[in-house]
Amino acid sequence: MITPAVPKSWYLPSKPHKFCPGCGHGIVLKALGETIDELEIQDKTIFGCDIGCSLLSWDFFACDSTQTHHGRTTPVMVGIKRARPELITIGYMGDGGGYSIGSQHLLNAAVRNENVTLILVNNTNYGMTGGQMAPTTLPGQKTETTPYGRDPELTGYPTRGPEFLTELTPEGAYIARATVSKYKQLRRFLRNALRNQMEGNGFSFVEVLSTCPTNWRTNAQQTWRFLEDEMEPYFPVGELKSPFGKGGDK
Amino acid sequence: MQANVKVVGDTKKSFLTGNEAVTWAALAAGAEMMFGYPITPQNEVMHYWTRLAPKYGRGFLQTEDEISAGFTVCGAVQAGTKAFTATAGPGNVLMQEPFGMAEAMRLPLFAVIQQRGGPSSGTVIYSQQEVALTTYGGNGEGHRIVYSTATHQEIYDYTIKGFNTAWKYRFPTFLLGDGYQAKMREPLEMYDPEERGIEIVPTYPLLGLEGHIGENREPQHLCNIYSLEEELYDVVLRFAEEYEKISPELIEYKENQCDDADIIILSHGVVSRAADDAVKALRAQGIKAGSFRPITLRPFPQAQLREAIAKSGAKKMLIAESAYGQLDRLTKQEIYGETIKIENLFKPGVGIIDYDIINKIKSML
Amino acid sequence: MALVRIALAGEGGQGVQSVAEILAEAAYDEGKQTIYIPNFGLEQRGGVSIAFIQASDERIGAPKFNKADVVIALSERAVSRTATYSDSNTLYVYDSGFKVDEEDYPREYKQIIGLPALETANKELHPRVFNIIIMGAVIGLTNMVSFESAKNALENKLGHKFEKNPELRDLNFRALEMGKQMAEKSLQEGGAK
């Protein structure tokens, strides 16, 4: 019998998971689970999730987990890490939680080079609340609160988080943007982001471009096309800052 | 972190500000971390803490705002660390968000509130206008424990007690002071808790437990949001039941010459000092006044107040507060059904002295 | 000693809060119940700064008061700002060198006392001990603390400066003494506006 490869750090009683079909969260969380297994940090990992679709991961892992208010995952993880530096803290949030309501926390945690790992899933909208405009919504993109398409004249241009965090952080920080369409690269970036915390170098951040067919109202083909043809050109994928240097990642 | 180091040594008489008393008491209680954001009149809690804490191996982080200060405390206590914060006014408003989460997740959060004038930025000086916010703020049911102090000795005593209450019962616990108490200097006795036989309630982690997941322990999954109405309903009812069960152990109050009083003065915090002086002066003039002071505003000593009214047969009660009816509303909901006539002395944002109370009482006779 | 209530007001930088703190320390060291509230409003960043002190042998009630036993205004602006703390039992003290408009004086007072503190400081001592003269005057007016306690409290607060410059100690103690005598003299004379 062939058993599907399930990360050891997944919490099986909560599977199958609760995300919509075609949602990118499952891919990110699989990559994260495999990374936790690979680094053998399951027992000392504290996984913290935000409100929004990311909250559906609150019992996703067989790791100690906590869940907070919208935008407040960053300070909760900072509090845990400051209290118990031996723990590995992973904050998991969406683009609204990180770049909008929790942006002051994200920005200041980056400036202070807090030794936490934050993963931000960018699907260009507020998924859980029904598909409103997010800081990352692309120009012209239709959402529930931009029914005629996002007009940058009115609401500005999409937030490029890793770019501004790169400017804010000192050496030692790790900043990258991955995409669910490049799984191996996603795994590598997550591994580096966690290694960076384990080595005590400082702030580690990975934005992951993800999919939301439910709110995008797209079929499989359109979903993938939007991710690769619309999002990836606007949000360039790669490592923006890494203490491991070019090619330093395994 | 080492929490059981003797901080004070031999009991000593001291002449301190209230903010300084908070700091020393927090150190003596074994607090390990403070998270804070500047706002008057609590700033000196941070100032003293940042000077003293390193000497005792304790930590501090100045966060980007009060929301963050509250949530970092939530994180630290989940990790099993005795952490606290202090704030006031608009900072207390922002902290209602993390305080609400502490209520929902039953986190042993302890916070010191030094009330300033409101609404909005108000004054940086003094008020009793954060009663409603501290007792019932947030989108919950007010499952909180609130100690309202009147002297520096009480600030010291109840800071130590506040940490213990938070960690014993796991309801967010508050020391409600005010700008006068924060800034004024007054004598008090400082001591290490064990010198008084006060046992420090041990801390313990809710996350980051010992052992191997899947071998000898289960993963912990904490949350504050539920898919079903009924799930939340059960949680809130359970909290309410537990809160009501422990309330008799928590309720504290002070009663002064209510046995034969014709008129009872109800006040809390620093105003109760003026009330006690007023009772003395009024009694000297042949007016049978008594005073009643809730020390715990949550849970409120409602049975005890009803009893004081019943045994005295007092026909009138004066509620005096440096706010426009916050204690008044709290009291009326707690003693619903009592027929005692209630009058008010509301001075929002300014101090009340015995003279004010005496005049008001005389006008009521 | 019965309760003594003092309101001390002046410009930021005049040392109002330092004097109040030293007086409060002295009273505390004598075993008295003492409360000192600095005025910490926005005014601490410019404007009149007020210190409220109470000392008593018995427990003190409310930390603040409406009317003081002694009000001392250390600047012209402080006169109008503090008139409200004066009633028919109040000794109202200001510097006799101030030009004060008639309407700025308190309406009610027991006695208004003008002390030549600034002039004495400038001519006989040093401008920087003006506030210590005032501190001496408080003692002369109230007997809130003994002269010895006041000297000890000064020593505790400024001892490190006195060590470096022993002349400073003498200067401060002389200022304290002169302030006390000045106040006692004006009380005997019944004061004149």
- When scoring A6, A17, A60, A64 by the number of chain B Cβ atoms within 10 A, the one with the most, hence best to mutate, is A64
Buried b (16+ CB within 10 A) or exposed e, A83-121: bbeebbbbbbbbbbbbbbbbbbbbbbbbebbbbbbbbbb
Give me the phi and psi of A65, to 5 degrees please.
-135, 150
Residues of B in contact with A43 (CB under 8 A): 211-213
Q: Say how far apart CA A155 and CA A129 lie, in whole Å.
A: 19
* B236 falls within a domain: no
Give the residue-averaged pLDDT of B134-140.
97
* Summary count for chain B: helices (H), strands (E): 12, 14
Asked if A164 and A101 count as a contact pair (C-beta separation under 8 A), the reply is no
What pLDDT shows up at residue C160?
92
- The residues in A 24-43 lying below 8 A from B, measured between CB atoms, are 42-43
* B42 falls within a domain: yes
What kind and span of H or E run contains B148?
strand B145-148
What pLDDT shows up at residue C13?
81
- When scoring B74, B94, B97 by the number of chain A Cβ atoms within 10 A, the one with the most, hence best to mutate, is B74
Mean pLDDT, chain B, integer: 96
Closest CA to C6 of C72, C74, C84: C72
Q: With pLDDT > 70 as the criterion, what percentage of chain A qualifies? A: 96
Which of B74, B76, B220 is the closest to A82 by Cβ? B76
Structure tokens at A101: 């309501």
What pLDDT shows up at residue B1?
43
Tens digits of residue pLDDT in C125-163 = 999 999 999 999 999 999 999 999 999 999 999 999 999
Residue carrying structure tokens 């931009």: A146
Give the residue-averaged pLDDT of B251-261.
98
Do B16 and B165 have their domain in common? yes
* B105 falls within a domain: yes
Buried b (16+ CB within 10 A) or exposed e, C2-34: ebbbbbbbbbeebbbbebbbbbbbbbbbbebbb
Give the residue-averaged pLDDT of A131-153.
96
Quote the minimal CA–CA distance from B3 to chain C in Å: 32
What CATH number should be reported for the domain holding residue B312?
3.40.50.920
Q: Inter-chain contact A68–B71, Cβ cutoff 8 Å?
A: yes
Q: Where exactly are the structural domains of chain C?
A: 4-189
Residues of B in contact with C20 (CB under 8 A): none
Residue of B nearest to A103 (CA): B64
Tens digits of residue pLDDT in B211-246 = 999 999 999 999 999 999 999 999 999 999 999 999
Q: Which of A208-212, B100-104, B168-172, C38-42 has the lowest mean pLDDT?
A: C38-42
Residue of A nearest to B58 (CA): A83
Give the residue-averaged pLDDT of A184-191.
98
What pLDDT shows up at residue C44?
52
Measured over the CA atoms of residue C86, residue C89, residue C95 and residue C96, the dihedral's sign is positive
In DSSP terms, A175 is beta-bridged to A205, A241
Residues of B in contact with A64 (CB under 8 A): 207-209, 219-221
What CATH number should be reported for the domain holding residue B84?
3.40.50.970
Do B264 and B343 have their domain in common? yes
Q: Say how far apart CA B118 and CA B31 lie, in whole Å.
A: 30
Q: With pLDDT > 90 as the criterion, what percentage of chain C qualifies? A: 79
- What confidence category does residue C40 fall into, taking pLDDT thresholds of 50, 70 and 90? low
- Determine contact: A64 vs chain B, CB below 8 A: yes
Structure tokens at C40: 């910490």
- Determine contact: B124 vs chain C, CB below 8 A: yes
Asked if B131 and B190 count as a contact pair (C-beta separation under 8 A), the reply is no
Give the number of beta-carbon pairs within 8 Å between A and B.
Answer: 133
Instruction: Name chain A's partners: 3 or more CB pairs within 8 A.
Output: B
Which of A48, A74, A83 is the closest to B33 by Cβ? A83
Quote the minimal CA–CA distance from A107 to chain B in Å: 9
Q: Inter-chain contact A79–B207, Cβ cutoff 8 Å?
A: no
Indicate if the pLDDT at residue C24 is higher than 50. yes
Q: Inter-chain contact A84–B222, Cβ cutoff 8 Å?
A: no
Give the number of beta-carbon pairs within 8 Å between B and C.
Answer: 63
- Three-class DSSP category at A202: coil
Indicate if the pLDDT at residue A168 is higher than 90. yes
Taking any CB pair shorter than 8 Å as contact, residues of chain C touching chain B are 21, 24-25, 28, 33-38, 40-42, 60-66
Quote the minimal CA–CA distance from A188 to chain B in Å: 25
* B237 falls within a domain: no
Q: Inter-chain contact A104–B68, Cβ cutoff 8 Å?
A: yes
Q: What is the count of structural domains for chain B?
A: 2
Give the residue-averaged pLDDT of A139-143.
97
- Fold type of domain A13-237: Rossmann fold (3.40.50)
Do B66 and B147 have their domain in common? yes
Residue of C nearest to B183 (CA): C37
Calculate the alpha carbon distances from C128 to A161, A172, B76, B132, C113 in Å: 56, 52, 49, 48, 22
Give the residue-averaged pLDDT of A194-218.
97
- Fold type of domain C4-189: Pyruvate-ferredoxin Oxidoreductase; domain 3 (3.40.920)
Indicate if the pLDDT at residue A250 is higher than 80. no
Give the residue-averaged pLDDT of A75-100.
98
Which residue type, as a one-letter code, is found at position A6? V
Residues spanned by the domain of B94 = 12-196
Q: With pLDDT > 90 as the criterion, what percentage of chain B qualifies? A: 97
Do B20 and B164 have their domain in common? yes
Indicate if the pLDDT at residue A75 is higher than 60. yes
Indicate if the pLDDT at residue C46 is higher than 70. no
Q: Inter-chain contact B351–C64, Cβ cutoff 8 Å?
A: yes
Do B45 and B114 have their domain in common? yes
Q: Say how far apart CA C67 and CA B180 lie, in whole Å.
A: 17
Give the residue-averaged pLDDT of A66-81.
98
- Determine contact: B138 vs chain C, CB below 8 A: no
Tens digits of residue pLDDT in B156-165 = 999 999 999 9
Do B65 and B154 have their domain in common? yes
